[in-house]
Structure 1
Amino acid sequence: MTHIDPPFVSDGSTAEEEVESLLPRRSAAVDPEDDETSERAYEYDEKVVVVGVSDVGGAAFDGPPPPFSWRKLWLFTGPGFLMSIAFLDPGNLEGDLQAGAVAGFSLLWLLLSATAMGLMIQMLSARLGVATGRHLAELCREEYPKWAMLALWLMAEVALIGADIQEVIGSAIAIKILSGGVFPLWTGVIVTAFDCFIFLFLENYGVRKLEAFFAFLIATMAISFTWMFGEAKPSGKELLIGLLVPKLSSKTINQAVGIVGCVIMPHNVFLHSALVQSRAIDPNKKSHVQEALRYYTLESTAALIISFLINLFVTTVFAKGFYGTEEADLIGLENAGNYLQVKYGGGLFPILYIWGIGLLAAGQSSTITGTYAGQFIMGGFLNLRLKKWIRSIITRSFAIIPTIFVALFFDTSDSALDILNQWLNVLQSVQIPFALIPLLTMVSKERIMGAFKIGPIYQALTWVIAALLITINGYLLIDFLSFGIQGMLLGSIICAIIAMYMTFIIYLILHGTQYSSR
C-alpha cells in the first residue's frame, strides 16, 4: 500500500493564489476507490492551505519555525473547535445542571481542573496526528494484535453509540421544547437523523465551510447560555470562591465524578488526532510539525476556554436557582427548561426557549461530530474504504435505530430518561481506558513519534491523570452497579465482566510497557 505524504507549501512573499496552485489536490493525486492507494485518501479531498517553512516547490531546507503570525493562526483554527464540541454535548450539560442544582457553586474548581486535564489529553491526540500523519485508530490497527485491535474497535463503537444516543435525545428534547410539545421525542429523533446529510453537503464544499458551520453552532450556545447567565444574575463572590477554593463532600461525590467523567470522551480522543491532518503540512519536517503544534495548542486552548465558560454559565444558573431547594434532585435534561421557566419567568424572551435553542445547538453539533468520529474509527480500525454517504448512514444507523426505541419508550417518563442518561454516562466512562492507554502508549514511543515523543516528566503527569480518570470512572461503575444487584447469579456475572474488563486494561498497559523496550 503506497503512503502518500500530505503536500505542503512555503513561506515568503508568494501570493496565496500562487501557493495554492502549487499544492497538489488530494482528490487528484489518489483514487479513493483504488485498493492500492492510501486508506486515508477519502478523509480530506482537499487540505487547507497553510504557509510552511520551505521554499515554494518543496526545497529541502528545514530551518526553525517562522515567527508567530495571526494569519497562520487563523488558517490553523478549526480542528480545536470541532474537538471542543464534545465538552458541550447534552451529556455534559446535564452533568452541569445537576452539579449546580445539587452542589451549588462548590464544584466549579473541579470543572476548571477537569477542563485543563481534558486539554492536556486532547493535545496529546493532536500531537500524535501531526507528528505521524496518521490518526489513533489507524495506529491501533498497526500496533496491536488483531484480537486486541478488534476489541478496541468494539469498545470505541460502543462508547460512540452511547454518546450519540445522548446527543440525539438532547436534540429531540430541544425540538420538543421549541415546538411547544407538538413534536414528541421520536419525531425529533427522526429529524435529527438527517443532520448527517448537512455534514455531507458542507464537507463537499470544503473543510473550512464545515468548520464555519460548527463555529456558528458554538456561537449559538455561547449566546444562549450567556443570556441565561445574565437572567439568573448569580453572585460573583460565590462564583470566585467556587473556582478558587476546592470543596468536596459525601453529598456531592456523585456530581463530582460526573463532571470529571464527562470531560474525556473516548471518541473525541480518536477524532482530534484525525482532524489536525486537515492542514497541509509535511510531518517529515520537524519545523513543520513544531509550527503546527504551536498553533493547534493556541486554538485548542482558546476553544476549551470558551467551552469552559459555557459549562460554567450552565452550572451557575442552576446553582443560583435550585441549590438547596426540594426540586434540586429532580432536575434532568428534559424538565430543566420547565424549571427554569418557573424560576426565572419570561423576561424579554422566555428562558425556556433560550434553553431549548442552546440545547439544540449542542445536540446538533455533537451528533454531527459523532458521525465524523465514527467514520475515522471505522475506517482506521477496519481499513474500510467506503463512499462517504455509505459510511455516514452506517455510523448514524448504529445510534439512530436504538435511539428511536428509547424515545418511544421513555417519551412520557422524565425519571426513566434520567436513569437512561446515567447508564449511558457509565457506558462511556468505562470505555475511557481503551482510548487513553493506547494514546499514552504511542505518544511515548520514539519509533512512532520520532523527536516528538513526550518526555519522562510529561509521561508521568499524563499517566497520573489517566490513573485518576480510570479510578474515578471505576468508582462510578461500582457505585452504579451496586444498586439493584440481587441474587448470586447476577452478582457473579457482573464480577466476571469486571474481571475481564480489568484484565484487558492490564494487558494494554503491559503491552505498552513491553513495546517500549523494543
Structure 2
Amino acid sequence: MPKSSASTLRSRGLWLLGPALVAGVAYLDPGNVASNMTAGAQYGYLLVWVVLAGNIMAWLIQYLSAKLGVVTGQSLPELLGARLRRPWARRAYWLQAELVAMATDLAEIIGGAVALNLLFGMPLLLGGVITGAVSMILLAVHSRRGPRHFEFVIIALMVIITVGFIAGVFIAPPDPAGVAGGLVPRFEDSGSVLLAASILGATIMPHAIYAHSSLARDRFGGDPRADAETRTLLTATRWDVTVAMVIAGSVNLGILLLAAANLAGVEGTDSLEGAHAALADGLGPVVATFFAVGLLASGLASTSVGAYAGAEIMHGLLRVRVPLLARRLVTLIPALVILGTGVDPTLALVLSQVVLSFGIPFALIPLVALTAQTRTLGAWANRTGTTIAGVAASVLLIALNGALLWLVLTGS
C-alpha cells in the first residue's frame, strides 16, 4: 500500500473494505450449509444460539488475524515460520496446516460438484473438475490482476450465496416465537451436542485465520506508517470484519431457520441432496434452485480462498512460493479421487470436518499469543480484556472440536 496520510485513508472509505469479506467466504462453505441445514431439520430452532455464539467468536478471531497482518506486514504463517527456527518444526507445522487446508478444500470441491449435479444432473466427477477449473480462473485473477480484483469477484459470489440461501426464508418465514426460544442456550441430547460442535467447527476454520492475515498484509501491510494511519486502518478493519460477519452470520442463521421452519422431521435432510429434494417438495422448484445456485457459488468462492490460504501457508512456513495455479492442480487431485471412487459426498464432508478439527489449536493458540505480545505488535498489542476473550474463545472452540472428534470417532 502506498504511503498515505490518515485523512487520505479515511477519505477512501469503502476502498478499505474487502479482505474480511473474502476471508468471510470460508464461513459460507458447503460444510456450513450441511451443518446448519441438518441442525434445523433435526432440532428445529434449538441451536439458533450456537450460530450466533459462533459468529461472535468468529468476529474476534478474524479481527485478531487481520490486525496481525495490518500491523506487522506479515501473515500468521510467516510469523510462525520466523519463530520456528528448526527446519523439522516448520515442516511438521506446515504438514498439519496443509492437511487441514486440503481437507477444507475437499469439502468445497464436493459442494460445488453436488450443486452442479443438482442443477444439471452432471456426474459428480465432472462437476468436481469444472469446480476446480473455475477456481483456477478465479486464482488467475488474483495472480494477474491483483488482490483487489480478486476481492471484487469473491464479493460478487458472496452476493449470489446470500440470495441463494436466504430467498427461501422470505418465501416461508420462520416462527418468531421459535426463533426467540432458540436464543436460550441448551441441548437436547448427544446428537444436538454433536451438531453444535459441527456448526462451530464449520464456522471457525484454520485456513480462514491464516488467509485473513495474508489478505490484510497484501492490502495494507509492508509500508512504514504513522500511528494515526495504523489506527485508521484498524478502525476500517473492524468495520470490514463486522460487515463480513453480519453477512456470514445472517446467511448461516437463515439456512438453519429455513430448515427449522420447513424441513423439521423430514427424512433425508442430513445430506445436501436430501435437503434440496425436501425443499423442492415443500417449497417448490424455485426455492430449491436458489439453494443449489447458492451452493455452487459457495463451493466456487470458498475453494478459491482455500487454495489461496494453502499457498500462503506453504510460503510462510516453508519459505517456498509455488504458483497458485500449480498448487490448485495438485490440491485438486484428492477431491477428484474421492468423487471418482464413488465415496458418499456427505460422508466425505463429515470426515473433512474431523480433519479440520485437528488444526484448530495450531491456528488459534499462536494467533492469540502473538497478538498479545508487545514485541510483535508494539502499542497495538491486545488489551488484557481482548486477550482474555481470545483465550476463552480458544478454549471453548478447542474443547468443542475435541467433543466433535470424540463423538464422531466413537459413534456416540
Same fold? TM cut 0.5: yes
Higher relative contact order (CA 8 A, sep 6+): 2
2:330 paired with 1:397: yes
Q: Which runs of 5+ in 1 are unaligned?
A: 1-5, 13-50, 53-68, 485-518
Change (3 A) 1:396 1:285: farther
Matched residues in 2 for 1:111 and 1:305: separation? Answer: 12
* Structure-1 residue corresponding to 2:5: 10
Aligned to 1:475: 403
Three-state SS of the structure 2 residue aligned to 1:221 is: helix
**CA deviation map 1:274-320 (0-9, x unaligned):** 11123356455322221111001011101110111111111111111
Structure 1 residue aligned with 2:138: 199
C-alpha spacing 1:482/1:444, structure 2 compared with 1 (3 Å): same
| Aligned-partner SS, 2:4 | coil
2 CA distance for matches of 1:480 and 1:106?
Answer: 21
Give the corresponding residue for 1:382: 318
| CA distance in structure 2 between the partners assigned to 1:465 and 1:431 by the alignment | 15
Match of 1:457 in 2: 385
Q: Distance in 2 between matches of 1:306 and 1:427?
A: 26
Instruction: Name the residue aligned to 2:295.
Output: 359
Q: Which residue of 1 aligns with 2:201?
A: 261
State the partner residue of 1:345.
Answer: 284
Letter in 1 for 2:192: T
Cα pair 2:158 2:297 within 8 Å, conserved:
yes
1: distance between equivalents of 2:49 and 2:20? 23
Structure 1 residue aligned with 2:53, among 85, 107, 113?
113
The answer as to 2:214 corresponding to 1:274 is yes
Shift of residue 458 of structure 1? 1.8
User: Structure 1: how far apart are the matches of 2:62 and 2:292?
Assistant: 29
Q: Which of 153, 156, 159 is matched with 1:213 structurally?
A: 153
2:312 and 2:364 mapped to 1: Cα distance? 17
Distance 2:298 2:135 in 1: 15
- Corresponding pairs, count: 408
2-side partners of 1:152 and 1:283: how far apart? Answer: 30
Task: Please show how residues 277-426 of structure 1 align to structure 2 within 5 Å.
Answer: 277-280=217-220, 282-323=223-264, 325=265, 327=267, 330-346=269-285, 350-386=286-322, 388=323, 391-398=324-331, 400-410=332-342, 416-426=344-354
Counterpart of 2:103 (choices 122, 139, 162) is 162
Alpha-carbon distance in 1 for matches of 2:250, 2:411: 34
The separation in 2 between residues aligned to 1:440 and 1:178, in whole angstroms, is 42
Superposed structure 1 runs of 4+ greater than 6 Å apart: none
2:33 corresponds in structure 1 to: 93
CA distance in 1, matches of 2:220, 2:96: 31
> Aligned partners of 2:48, 2:228: CA distance in 1, in Å?
39
8 A contact 2:28–2:298 mirrored in 1: yes
Tell me the distance in 2 between the aligned counterparts of 1:164 and 1:227: 26
Answer yes or no: is the 8 Å Cα contact 2:136–2:328 preserved in 1: no
SS in 2 for 1:194: helix
Of all paired residues, the percent bearing the same amino acid is: 31
Structure-1 separation of matches of 2:326 and 2:54: 34
Q: How far, CA to CA, are the matches of 2:348 and 2:146 in structure 1?
A: 37
Counterpart of 1:380, as a letter, is G
Q: In the alignment, residue 350 of structure 2 is paired with which amino acid?
A: Q
- Verify the 8 A CA contact 1:130 1:283 in the aligned structure 2: no
Q: CA deviation at 1:110?
A: 1.3
Describe the SS at the equivalent of 2:341: helix
Q: Which secondary structure does the structure 2 equivalent of 1:7 belong to?
A: coil
Q: Which amino acid in the other structure matches residue 311 of structure 1?
A: N
* 2: CA distance, partners of 1:418 / 1:85: 20
Conserved? CA contact 1:234–1:316, under 8 Å: yes
SS at match of 2:271: coil
The gaps in structure 2 that reach 5 residues or longer are none
Tell me, yes or no, if the aligned pair for 1:269 and 1:435 is still in contact at 8 Å.
yes
SS in 2 for 1:410: coil
Q: Secondary structure at the match of 2:185?
A: coil
Q: Which has the larger radius of gyration?
A: 1
Contact kept? 2:3, 2:225, Cα under 8 Å? no
* Alignment check: 8 A CA contact 2:64 2:367 kept: yes
Instruction: Give the Cα separation in 2 of the matches to 1:132 and 1:77.
Output: 19
Letter in structure 2 aligned against 1:410: G
1:481 and 1:11 map into 2 onto residues whose CA distance is 52
Q: TM-score, normalised by structure 2?
A: 0.94
1:100 Cα deviation after fit? 0.4
Structure whose residues are more often helix by fraction: 2
Query: Among residues 188, 194, 201, which one is paired with 1:249 in the alignment?
Result: 188
Q: CA deviation at 1:115?
A: 0.5
C-alpha distance in 1 between matches for 2:402 and 2:15 = 40
SS in 1 for 2:145: coil
Per-residue displacement from partner, 1:146-169 (whole Å, max 9, x unpaired)? Answer: 232222211110111000010001
Q: 1:374, 1:395 within 8 Å by CA — same for their partners in 2?
A: no
Deviation at 1:396, TM superposition (A): 4.2
